Amino acid sequence: MKKIFAAVLTASLMLIGTSAFAQFSAGAGFMNSSLNDGKESSALNGLFAGVSYNIPLAGGLGVAPGFYYSFLTKKDSGNLGTFTYAGDRTDMYLTVPVDLNYGIQIADGFKALLFAGPAFSYGLSSKTKVFGSIGDFSAGSTRDNYGNEDYGRIDVMLGGGVGVELEDIVRFTVGYDYGMMDLDKTDAGTLHRSQLHVGVAFLF
């Protein structure tokens, strides 16, 4: 999977600069990411930021490779018998989406946008800090969730969304991606990640 991720990254770089009419954008936004094992889900919230490069193909159709960094966090608390605990989790990802998009000119200075495609995600860091004593955790300990190789770093997500562009200056988007890879590397079950993202980008 690491070789596939590197190949996609290389191909995206090769696409950049292939058209004089290509459009560069830089943006950021809010992200909600959920881990679901089929029975219950755990949500993390955070921010993402990055760039994309839309290359026109024909008519209103284009392809837009991009590079995005996301930082997600959550705080948990609860009771185990008479014991009260609290914990912090932080995840960081590098994501390379390659979206096909179609723009529809609604009026002067106003364009509607549909997009869909794969997004290749690599987990840079995933750590949980627990204040208390839970299982193999001790008070104030920090666990690297990738450390024991039970949690997968690489994911291939499929998704899409909608957006609007105003005056060819700013773009607003809402999208959703679902991870196709099982991130649970044990035999305990399956674990999939999904993400909802709302962003704004400036066009150059």
Domain boundaries, the chain: 2-203
The rounded mean pLDDT for the chain is: 86
pLDDT bracket for residue 133 (50, 70, 90): low
Instruction: Please tell me the predicted confidence (pLDDT) of residue 18.
Output: 47
Distance CA(87)–CA(150), nearest Å, equals 20
- How confident is the model over 135-169, as pLDDT tens digits? 555 566 788 889 888 889 999 999 999 999 999 99
Question: Span 2-203: which CATH code?
Answer: 2.40.160.20
The pLDDT of 183-198, averaged and rounded, is 91
Instruction: Please tell me the predicted confidence (pLDDT) of residue 149.
Output: 82
Which segment, 117-121, 129-133, 181-185, is predicted with the most confidence on average?
Answer: 117-121
pLDDT bracket for residue 39 (50, 70, 90): confident
The pLDDT of 38-48, averaged and rounded, is 89
Residue 64 clears pLDDT 60, i.e. is over it:
yes
Residue 9 clears pLDDT 60, i.e. is over it:
no
* % pLDDT > 70, the chain: 80
pTM (2 decimals)?
0.82
Residue 124 clears pLDDT 70, i.e. is over it:
yes
- How confident is the model over 77-114, as pLDDT tens digits? 655 444 455 678 999 999 999 999 999 999 999 999 99
